Chain A
Amino acid sequence: MNILNPPQIELLRDFKNDVGLLTCAFASQGSTVFLGAREPGAKFVDLSEPESVAQTLEGHATWVTAISAFPDHVVTADYSGTLICWSLESESPTPRWTKNSVSIRCLATNSTAGIVATSGTDGQVRLWDAENGASIRVLGGAAFPVFDLAFSPDGSFLFSVDRAPSKPTVRQWDTSTGELAGSFDGSDLSAYRRGENVQWGGIRGIDVSADGAQIACCGRHQYNGPGTVLLFDVASGQQTAKQVSEFPGLFHTVQYHPDGFLVTAGGDVNRGEVWFFPADGAPAIGKAPVSGPVMCLDLSPDGRQFAAAQSVGQSAYPDGGALGIYSLQPTAAANSSVPPDEPS
């Protein structure tokens, strides 16, 4: 691991919560963060207010499991399948439309295509019109729960990742036709084994590079291995890199930083870490501990901060949760394993 130029993080704000957090997302303007926790309702914090506390939005009767942001809008989803689009045009988020579906575990949005995508335990991927929530279509989906979704930058493709027991798979969907355009083999990430109890199998997180040419997936390396990131070339469908960390936990989330490198995070019991990988497949360029297991991480639009949804506590049972707001100061060489030139 190249530790010469690791990105630096610093905890800026720490919003405590009575129960563990499940998800978080920055609104597009970068000063508001939405979060979901093990309690009913979505919450938000206004980072522009130094003394702000999390406020609860009415509308979700159960735990909010996924959040994604549009310009001027944020979409939240919960275990019961309630999907709410919130307008941010007024002082406080107000519901713009609400739809009811089946249990939702993940969602993604694309403003170019004007689409919201949801999926969850039933493995079916559903597309919704971002303007009014009208159902567009249901994609074939998988027979296994889908863990995450990500759009290509122009919204023409949607990628879903699942926990198929023998072969976790990335599926590439054409959003205009609903047809399956391709699939990528994620077998290097842990798969559930028959005869075992529930395991941390499957592809847990996915993101698409800014140019749409590459996708990054995260999870755990094979059975019970360390947190791992896989890179795939979209055009060929081939896996181009397997970046195995030293972190003995599961990477839940991965994102491309605006500067091009990868940010991933996850947790084990009582422990959470953020790891940084270059997008060329080279080994990790840095890591940093955070206060607890990270269930979800979201970068601010400018990439200078990230929000981490965490559980906290020293025992197997969390004492609560926390939304950590961290500054992120990537160095010039953070998107490459090659160290910068020494000054003459």
Chain B
Amino acid sequence: MRFSVPQHTVSRRQLLSGTLGALGVSACGQPLLAEELTQRRKKLLLLFQSGGASQYETWDPKPGTHTGGPFQSIPTSVPGVHISELLPHSAEILDQLTVIRSINSGINDHFFGHYAIQAGHNLPGHPVLGSVVAQQLEQSRDILPGYISLRRDGPKAYTDVGDAGFLGAKYEGLRVINAEPPEYLVRPESVSALLMQSRDQIRRRNDERFLQGRRPAPIHAYRDTFDKAFALMTQRDLFNLEQESSRDRERYGEHDFGRHCLLARRLLEAGVSCVKVTHHDWDAHQENFHWHEVRCGEFDRTFATLVRDFSERGLLEDTLIVAMGEMGRTPRINQQGGRDHWGKAWSMAMAGCGIKPCIHGSTNEDGTEVADGEVNHGDLFHTFLTALGIDANENYQLSGQTSPIGDPACAAIAEVLS
């Protein structure tokens, strides 16, 4: 006796139309044209200095003061503006950068800091910047995950704090470790491309059927994970940095951060909305000065190369590049020659997407407090989203409930927006 369950019945017409749709062809054979194809999409590249870079040894030096440390400041391409001597390459491109010297987040903790600076909220549960951008800027033609996070292996526990929250697994950051593609991206030889497509369509149809009468969230999570994996299988070559010229690989830097930034450029060019590259080990509680020589040495040349490269390729107009950590470092130098956590007065830099190159805000003579133009992490969040064309004053619509995208008590920094 044949047994048939109506919800498990899939018609041949339905199956074929789904398969053809996945191949970009309508059932009548006409190519699909979406309005989004003609729109230029904004993108975000987040360079995260995990551990907290010292503002004294980067963007807001105080040479000659009791808090300033041993390094001098150097002139930049902006007349009258000096930054640390540890950032000579960034000094050459400062006319393309926006530097915020007046951040007061009030947060001195790695875990909370990682979350708050990326979520723009103090209350837990909000999605982080990458997930927000992935969701808000997604387009129907997107193949790749909207948010990819690049880091090396063996990070500190706080490095991965923050996720998509209530936005769901679809907007979770895909973690790529050591610039290596995720495992199992290669289709087995025994499975043809058409067979793989057909199998995926069957999976999708089954998921749709299974959804009927069931809670959608877990099913969507599985579906979204499969979709991401499937998309990456077709784009595996993105991870092959050997396709880049030796010149580019050298000038980006033959280290983790350099390779990740080069991969980030490839991913953004391929359509990913947000890539986060973590530069590790800024938490210099000991030997702050020698250590910043090392970290800034890696960061500076790669960062300047990145900005120049994006500009030359015409990407900077639509890509917001943000360089920041979760906090700054103390004015006082401890017994071990280090600087500790400091959320009261610290700095970050950004470029692109129409942000006005300028220096915003200032600290007092010894850098212990913000003197002018104080902003917090919520204000920065608003600013980033506004530059990307996202209204942070809007709300998420969550099954009948709303939640503000940005903290309503905060606002974008108008002075740096075009």
Interface residues of A (CB under 8 A from B): 19-20, 38, 61-63, 78-80, 103, 105, 120-121, 145, 193-200, 267, 269-270, 292-293, 311, 313, 316-318
Contact = CB atoms under 8 A, between A and B. Distances in A.
The A contact surface, by secondary structure, is loop
Given A121-B290, A195-B154, A198-B284, A63 B70 contact: yes
Contacts of B332: 317
The 8 closest A-B pairs by CB, nearest first: A195-B154, A197-B283, A63-B70, A79-B70, A194-B154, A121-B293, A62-B70, A317-B332
Contacts of B283: 197-198
B361 interface: no
A196 B333 CA distance: 20
A197 B293 CA distance: 15
Interface in B270-311: 280-281, 283-291, 293-294, 297
Interface centre among A103, A198, A313 (most CB of B within 10 A): A198
Contacts of A195: 153-156, 280
B243 interface: no
B71 A121 contact: no
Please tell me the size bucket of the interface on B: 20 to 34
Nearest to A249: B336
Nearest to A292: B335
A38 B335 CA distance: 11
The B contact surface, by secondary structure, is loop
B51 interface: yes
Nearest to A199: B286
A38 B332 CA distance: 12
Contacts of B290: 103, 105, 120-121, 145
A195 B281 CA distance: 7
B70 A197 contact: no
Given A79-B70, A145-B294, A195-B153, 8 more contacts: A63-B70, A103-B290, A194-B154, A197-B156, A198-B291, A316-B335, A317-B333, A318-B334
A196 B156 contact: yes
A61 B72 contact: yes
B152 A62 contact: no
Contacts of A19: 66
Nearest to A147: B290
Contacts of A80: 70, 72
A38 B284 contact: no
Nearest to A319: B335
A221 to B, nearest CB: 17
A105 B70 CA distance: 12
A79 B337 CA distance: 14
27 contacts: A19-B66, A20-B337, A61-B72, A62-B72, A78-B70, A79-B70, A79-B289, A80-B70, A103-B293, A105-B290, A194-B153, A194-B154, A196-B156, A197-B156, A197-B283, A197-B285, A198-B285, A198-B286, A198-B287, A199-B286, A270-B335, A292-B335, A311-B335, A316-B335, A316-B340, A317-B335, A318-B334
B159 to A, nearest CB: 8
B338 interface: yes
A199 B152 CA distance: 18
A318 B335 contact: yes
Contacts of A270: 335
A198 B338 contact: yes
A145 B292 CA distance: 12
Given A197-B51, A197-B283, A199-B286, A293 B154 contact: no
A279 B190 CA distance: 67
A121 B294 CA distance: 7
A224 to B, nearest CB: 12
Nearest to A121: B293
Contacts of B333: 20, 38, 317-318
Interface string B363-377: 000000000000000
Interface in B195-226: none
Contacts of B154: 193-195
Contacts of A61: 72
Contacts of B334: 269, 316-318
Nearest to B291: A198
Interface centre among A62, A267, A293 (most CB of B within 10 A): A62
A141 to B, nearest CB: 14
Contacts of A197: 51, 156, 281, 283-285
Contacts of A20: 333, 335, 337
A79 B71 contact: yes
B297 to A, nearest CB: 8
Nearest to A61: B72
Contacts of A318: 333-335
A222 to B, nearest CB: 17
A293 B287 CA distance: 14
A200 B286 contact: yes
Contacts of B340: 316
B282 to A, nearest CB: 8
A310 to B, nearest CB: 10
A287 to B, nearest CB: 20
Nearest to B159: A195
A318 B293 CA distance: 23
A293 B51 contact: no
Contact of B281 (A62, A78, A198, A311): A198
B112 to A, nearest CB: 17
Nearest to B293: A121
Contacts of B291: 198
